[in-house]
Structure 1
């Protein structure tokens, strides 16, 4: 077996998983695009979509867990970031009020899952839950795991389907990224119309 046939895909997968883990802290990372690129680069490997989706889900959940713990412990870096970004701090406060108010378990689950599809929504949610002394973190982490699986299945499926619809990898990549951006924008517009979910995007 050609070593490059294994090393190349592994490198793309590692980069994608690192981005998924890190975008909880740095939401500007192009994690979705890198996952789609990894899907395209590992298409020749049997079972790669399922393995990649599982890895993405785990990395996404671990990112939430790490940021949540840092926020709960009052990490200086988290406080400095909130101090430098008033809009982020305001969004965190709104999410805290939404989660600690009269929010049903179902409504909280929807907020956690939808946050995965809203730019920076994941970061806001993790910090808000970490700073909230009234919200049970294990309840949040349960839904965070569900959200991680949902997003992983969505982004990997998007890349895989476009790979099979178009003849060239570069066209599949472009179409997949455009589609992901369009879907994310549509979700933002949808949550702006829902009072409960609007806390994720207000003030942007």
Structure 2
């Protein structure tokens, strides 16, 4: 255990850690198996317990990396979206789902993007989809910045609280910070689950009363046949 603590201490307090933090946050934006959140939390713990790294650069670089990574994911979606749309036959369930995604993101894409930043894996799916359906880059960048900064502050403060609570045992502080992060993620997932259930129930009731829903394989949706123009200012 002492060897692990020494290894983590050496890594986190190294000047190179800032560069690693930026890279991890950026890569996690389009390759969601990199532990960016735990890296930010660990940095916050050590900032509180040993004074290194400095918390302000941690927040700035984590936010900057997340912002860059989200734009890489958005660009991948943008480049592949046109080909994907051309392959979808109007009137099919997949075409309806694609059209529904475009309309939903047009209505509340900013909120979805900010919330998805706190859902591991979900952030990549959302940013890539926003690129694929042609969500305006200017609006995307604005909400991606809000999401990245809020996420970086959130992760650093969680770690900092853990470091203050266990000043003499940073590993316990990391465990507390990660536990709090998991609790927040569980709450977000629970809310999303109940929202989906309510939406499904509402759509079922609408279907039962003879109202056709998007993507049911029925007639073409006149709005869903065009991706460009769905978003104001696109």
Q: TM-score, normalised by structure 2?
A: 0.65
Matched with 1:157 is 157
Instruction: Verify the 8 A CA contact 1:109 1:143 in the aligned structure 2.
Output: yes
- The one-character-per-residue Cα deviations of 1:88-138 (angstroms, maximum 9, x if unpaired) are xx8xx958624424853xx322211100111211110111011113x2222
Distance 1:68 1:97 in 2: 18
Per-residue deviation, 1:38: 2.3
Aligned length: 176
User: SS of 1:119's equivalent?
Assistant: coil
Closer, same or farther in 2 for the Cα pair 1:96/1:142, shift >3 Å? farther
Q: State yes or no: 1:144 paired with 2:144.
A: yes
Structure 2 Cα separation of the partners of residues 22 and 95 of structure 1:
26
- 1:59 matched to 2:62? The reply is no
TM-score, length of structure 1 as denominator length: 0.74
Tell me how large the CA RMSD over aligned residues is: 3.0
Deviation, 1:9, is 2.9
Corresponding residue of 1:124: 125
Candidates 7, 13, 22, aligned match of 2:27: 22
User: Structure 1 stretches of 5 or more lacking a match?
Assistant: 80-89, 199-204
Aligned to 1:187: 188
Give the alignment of 1:163-182 within 5 angstroms: 163-167=163-167, 168-182=169-183
Alignment partner of 1:97 out of 97, 100, 110: 100
- Matching of residues 75-86 of structure 1 within 5 Å: none
Contact kept? 1:17, 1:35, Cα under 8 Å:
no
Unaligned runs of 5+ in 2: 1-8, 85-93, 200-234
C-alpha distance in structure 1 between counterparts of 2:185 and 2:12, whole Å: 32
Q: Which has the larger radius of gyration?
A: 2
Match runs of 1:32-71 below 5 Å:
32-43=37-48, 44-45=50-51, 48-71=54-77
- Matched-pair contact (CA < 8 Å) for 1:12–1:37: no
Contact 2:11 2:17 in 1 (8 A): no
